[in-house]
Amino acid sequence: MFYIIGLGLCDEKDITIRGLEAVKGSSRVYLEAYTSILMIQKERLEAFYGKELIIADRDMVETESDEILRDADKEDVSLLVVGDPYGATTHTDIVLRARALGVSTRIIHNASIMNAVGACGLQLYNFGQTVSLVFFTETWKPDSFYDRVQDNAALGMHTLVLLDIKVKEQSEENLARGRKIYEPPRYMSITQAVSQLAEVEASRGAGVLTPDRTLAIALSRVGGGSEERIVAGSLAELAAQPPETFGQPLHSLVIVGRRLHHLEVEYAEGFAVNKATWRDVASKVYGCALDG
């Protein structure tokens, strides 16, 4: 059996009992590299599982799937991934390859930001399509996400914005010289994300992301106990916060849509930079009927 096992959001204790049993019964256990670079250290996982882990970067998962799947028709092999196996990165290719090889696959689900985003207090029902925001460069500022946020906003829906991660980047010089030397991983922060949103709003100008009139909620390390940060405010308020307000990466951002229930406003108020302005924008701009 080939298992793809979601590790959940934070650390070694977020795996399910079913997942842990599969790991313990597997003859080889791969750890998707994104994972180890994020919040969970490989060594900590190995100690917890009592198993050695083989790092599999994205290239390996995509191009060397036959090695990962080797003998999985006769014994158990596991691939560990952060969040859920069907989160932002699906594992379609390797599952299709397993199918072609006649290897049975079992997915062991877990929380991912796609459902745990509910922690911000907004109803998951009212989220539209999810978008990604990539690191802008001097010459490359892809802004097609803006159209999608606008589509969601037109329907009153919230938008989950996933922020870019760069791992295994090469400098131009190293790339040119063919040196496999990689830059340290980079994670987009809320501060940078909000700044990029302002830049796109300035160029596109449809009023989808206005600093004082658009509410947003920043999330980091959801489910991570004392490391979790949820911060709500207008885009302008979020932009004005010192970076440490938002805690450690990964960060995600929710753009709040008009379809707001007063309980959602009240719930998220507990995370607000400024409760008064939060309520004020929710009632006056968003038209949400609030008490008092």
Q: Does 247 bind a second copy (CB under 8 A)?
A: no
Q: Which of residues 161-200 bind a second copy (CB under 8 A)?
A: none
CA distance 131 to 159: 7
* Least distance CB 159 / a second copy (angstroms): 11
* Least distance CB 48 / a second copy (angstroms): 8
**Residue 225 CB neighbours (<10 A):** 8
Q: Site size for a second copy, by CB under 8 A?
A: 58
Whether the bond between 250 and the residue before it is cis, its omega within 30 degrees of 0, is yes
Nearer to a second copy, 45 or 68 (CB): 45
Q: Which helix (H) or strand (E) holds 116?
A: helix 113-116
Terminal-to-terminal C-alpha distance of the chain: 58
Choice from 18, 166, 168, 186 touching a second copy (CB under 8 A)? 18
CA 95 to chain centre: 22
Nearer to a second copy, 142 or 243 (CB): 142
**Residue 52 CB neighbours (<10 A):** 9
Q: Does 16 bind a second copy (CB under 8 A)?
A: yes
* Least distance CB 212 / a second copy (angstroms): 27
Give the pairing of strands 215-220 and 165-166: unpaired
Q: Does 23 bind a second copy (CB under 8 A)?
A: no
CA distance 273 to 147: 28
Tell which residue, 288, 291, 238, 246, has the closest CA to residue 126: 288
**Residue 26 CB neighbours (<10 A):** 22
Tell which residue, 233, 237, 276, has the closest CA to residue 255: 233
Q: Does 13 bind a second copy (CB under 8 A)?
A: yes
Choice from 170, 266, 274, 290 touching a second copy (CB under 8 A)? 266
Nearer to a second copy, 81 or 216 (CB): 81
Contact range with a second copy by CB under 8 A, out of 7-15, 36-44, 164-172, 237-245: 7-15
Q: Which of residues 217-236 bind a second copy (CB under 8 A)?
A: 222-223, 225
Binding map of a second copy across residues 100-129, x = CB under 8 A, - = no contact: ------xxxxxxx-xxxxxx-x-xxxxxxx
CA distance 167 to 187: 9
Q: Does 87 bind a second copy (CB under 8 A)?
A: yes
The token duo for 250 is 């990964």
Kindly list the residues in this chain that would bind a second copy in the complex (CB under 8 A): 6, 8-9, 12-18, 20-21, 84-88, 90, 92-93, 95-96, 99, 106-112, 114-119, 121, 123-132, 151, 155, 157, 222-223, 225, 263-264, 266-267, 270
